[in-house]
Amino acid sequence: MPSDLGSSKAFDELEALRAENAALKQQLSAQNQLPMSLEEFKRYGRQMIVEDTGGVAGQLKLRGSKVLVIGAGGLGCPCLPYLAGAGVGQIGIVDNDVVETSNLHRQVLHDSSKVGMLKCESAKEVLLKLNPHVTIDTYPVRLNYSNAFDIFQHYDIVLDCTDTPLTRYLISDVAVNLRMTVVSASGLGSEGQLSILNFKDVGPCYRCFYPVPPPPNAVSSCQEGGVIGPCIGLVGVMMAIETIKIILDIYTLDNFQPFLMQYSGFPVQTLRTFKMRGRQTSCKACGDNRTISRKAIEAGDVDYELFCGKRKYDVCSSKERISVKELETSYLSPGELNHILLDVRPHHHYNISHLPNTYNLTVKELRDMEGDITRLQSCIPTVHRQSEVLVICRHGNDSQLATRLLKDQFNITNVRDVRGGFFKYIDDMNPSLPKY
């Protein structure tokens, strides 16, 4: 029979062993602490098992990366959910626009209930629902030379999803000064382009490709030129792929070759990858003699507006213009047919909706007639040099150019432009007509 003393000793030993065991277990689990939550393993599993991503190590690179997306429109919307979904740890969104109905066919993060809401906030709402593990920062500001550096410096990679040459030069210049890689894309109609700029601070920048900006009249926006949703969407998705590859170090200093991808959606879909020039020694931003420094940009010494230029529309005097109200009261009532109403929008715009008893000739068509009134009469039989002509377009820009042509080249003396154009007329006078 064991003595009381013996049994108590055995008990103490057992307790000591238990304590040691618990300490060892704790030590072991501290060594094996998981780098992500079990939920994250599950969430990212399908991409981690693609060997090229580098598994858990690759996933941690994504989680540690900070990506700034400028523009939550036709490119930003399809790109952002793939970045958030893939687990990019911190995503910034710069956009001061609000959602409009005419955006919804391509800007798929937004929906009809969000018309009027800031695009960056609308995007954030969707992305956090998609993946609560990521941080989304929003900047409801228009990017400019004075705020760009403050915003950019919190991130590693910038995505240019903007829509004007001016911001494209600014983004590239700021990124070069901060040694950041830029994924840059654009789209219009059924086509798109994509490129990686200033890759790891050795690749070419936007100015290397385009040292001289295009003339302003050669630049078309989506609002003006139109755009097919899935075509620009595809390019936005490709931006997400390029971004993920940069983060995962699929591109390296050794294997990276400057390129520009060109996508065409119609008539047969094609995707071409053009081999592009490297960094240019003559480049003002990233070359040997740099003049576009952070100091120069922030001081406003790099004049982007002057560099890119603006289209000159303001070519009619106030006497050469009438208001939409005057158009409605004096010219559109039945029986008032002693004047000619000329709509200078593109024909496919005109075909969507237009005012009754109008003629449709574009500015280009008028220009091509070279001031020959007989050629004009072949399209508008009743027109002569004493006719009263009213010119209308979409917003009141092209109609001014046409007014000048009709007066100065065709020598028609009584020509006036409708201020604000067809859309202003619809807004103020006749909201029952379709705007597009």
Catalytic residue annotation: 222, 393
Q: Closest approach of Cβ 279 to other proteins, in Å?
A: 12
The residues binding other proteins (CB under 8 A) are 71, 73-76, 160-165, 168, 185-189, 191-193, 209-215, 218-222, 225, 227, 232, 260, 262, 264, 272-277, 367-368
**Residue 78: is the preceding peptide bond cis (ω within 30°)?**
no
Nearer to other proteins, 74 or 420 (CB): 74
Nearer to other proteins, 302 or 324 (CB): 302
Q: Closest approach of Cβ 342 to other proteins, in Å?
A: 20
119 is in an annotated binding site: yes
Q: Closest approach of Cβ 222 to other proteins, in Å?
A: 4
8 is in an annotated binding site: no
CB–CB of 317/404 below 8 Å? no
Q: Closest approach of Cβ 36 to other proteins, in Å?
A: 34
348 is in an annotated binding site: no
316 is in an annotated binding site: no
101 is in an annotated binding site: no
Instruction: Locate 290 and state its tokens.
Output: 């740099």
Q: Closest approach of Cβ 339 to other proteins, in Å?
A: 29
Nearer to other proteins, 215 or 431 (CB): 215
Nearer to other proteins, 70 or 86 (CB): 70
77 is in an annotated binding site: no
Nearer to other proteins, 217 or 413 (CB): 217
Binding residue numbers: 74, 95, 102-106, 119, 163-164, 205, 208, 283, 286
Please enumerate, by residue number, every residue annotated as part of a binding site for Zn(2+): 205, 208, 283, 286
Residue numbering of the annotated binding site for ATP = 74, 95, 102-106, 119, 163-164
